[in-house]
Amino acid sequence: MERIKAIKKISSQLTKQLVICNIGFPSRELFHVKDLSTHFYMLGSMGLASSIGLGLAMSTTRKVVVFDGDGSILMNLGSLVTIFNQNPENLILIVLDNECYGSTGSQCTYASTVDLGKVAKSIGFKTIFFFKNSEEINFKKVLKSEGPIFVHFKVKKGNANVPVIPMEPVEIRDRFMDEIKNPK
Amino acid sequence: MDSSEAIYNALKKSGIDFVVSLPCVNLGKIMEIVDSDKEIIHIPVTREEEGFGICAGAFMGGKSPAMLMQNSGLGNSVNVLASLFELYKLPVMIIVSHRGTEGEFMSAQIPMGKATPKVLDALTIPYFNPKNPDDALNIIPKTWQIAKTKGTPVAILLDIKFW
């Protein structure tokens, strides 16, 4: 399945959850599929989607969904250890794993030889979902489970042909923080 | 007043309610006090860059975040301070044990100790250098006001002689 299709299938099943989306094409694809005030699009700081998600999850009772990537989580594997130890029940970490650095020209990552789901399991994550090429993604089941949840989603290499996000960083921040302060 | 208690009291006076930490010998006592304060969420992390990501999420979730770290961690955090904090104008209070300053016994601490103010200058992060506990108690809450008003990280450099 293409990554944008995976993003579309999951985001169509989200309601009020707060979303942190990884830098580069994943954010562009999510913005293109659906743009909501519950979305925070990363424009820099590669590797830190799961950390931003953890800090947010520790500060709110709302569910927090993170769209992360294999290259990004490999930059910040310590984050999985911290998430496991802090044990936020409202955090869902989705790793869209295309086994490459998609936004820089699809150079390979080590995710083709290292199973990131097994890494999460060995750290101690109790709830792990695995999706691959299945047309039916029952994300409701993920949303009903107690976190922290690790979702390993294998997707095809390649990016959708979508434009850059036409929002200023501060505009993204202000809209997102207003949504948290005054839920719509 | 004890130097560690002064930093803790200054954080409380500032309204800091979310602390992310990596240890330094000089920060041990503050970490213990923070950890026993039920009004503060304390998250020990594996690397400073990760910690700043957590602070960013916490700020957007309505918290007032601070990092406790050694100055070596600043080197691990240059990109996040620029491409997350500066880009989105996010505040964070950075309490830094500044090793490699006067009185340092370990030569390995000297290079990053010298680089620290220059790295902060390059990132245009305002920083202050309280010399004693009273000074810290006075400076830290004012510094946090600057952070919130301007939407910027701010750093408090605590030299070896401070402790």
Mean pLDDT of chain B: 97
Of B63-67, B69-73, B104-108, minimum mean pLDDT range: B104-108
pLDDT band at B143 (very low <50, low <70, confident <90, very high): very high
User: Can you read off the two tokens belonging to residue A141?
Assistant: 């089941």
Domain containing residue B100: CATH number: 3.40.50.970
CB B123 within 8 A of CB B75: no
Which domain does B110 fall in, by range?
3-162
Q: Average pLDDT of B53-73?
A: 98
CB B20 within 8 A of CB B67: yes
Q: Average pLDDT of B146-163?
A: 97
Residue of B nearest to A83 (CA): B45
Q: For A44, list phi and psi in degrees, rounded to 5.
A: -155, -160
Chain A nearest C-alpha distance from B79 (Å): 6
- Consecutive 10-residue averages of pLDDT for chain A (184 residues): 96 96 97 98 97 98 98 98 98 98 94 98 97 84 96 96 97 98 88
Chain B nearest C-alpha distance from A39 (Å): 12
0.90 cut: is pTM over it?
A: yes
Residues of chain A positioned with their CB less than 8 A from the CB of B78: none
Q: What percent of chain B has pLDDT over 90?
A: 99
Residues 6+ apart with CB under 8 A from A124: A84
pLDDT at position A100 is: 96
Q: Report yes or no: A125 at the B interface, CB cutoff 8 Å.
A: no
pLDDT at position A22 is: 97
* Substitution target from A46, A51, A65, A90 for chain B, most B beta carbons within 10 A: A51
Contact (CB<8Å) A55/B56: yes
Q: Which of residues 119-158 of B touch A (CB under 8 A)?
A: none
ipTM over 0.90: yes
pLDDT at position A133 is: 76
Q: Which of residues 86-105 of A touch B (CB under 8 A)?
A: 86
Residue of A nearest to B21 (CA): A82
Q: Does domain A3-181 have CATH number 1.10.8.50?
A: no
Q: Which of residues 28-67 of B touch A (CB under 8 A)?
A: 41, 43-47, 49-63, 65
Number of domains into which chain B is organized: 1
CB A102 within 8 A of CB A2: no
Phi-psi region of A99 (alpha: psi -120 to 50; beta: other; left: phi over 0): left
Q: Report yes or no: B84 at the A interface, CB cutoff 8 Å.
A: yes
**For chain A, domain boundaries:** 3-181
Residue of A nearest to B46 (CA): A78
Q: Average pLDDT of B125-144?
A: 98
pLDDT at position B105 is: 92
Q: How far apart are CA A18 and CA B70, in angstroms?
A: 32
Contact (CB<8Å) B84/A48: yes
Residues 6+ apart with CB under 8 A from B107: none
pLDDT at position A137 is: 86
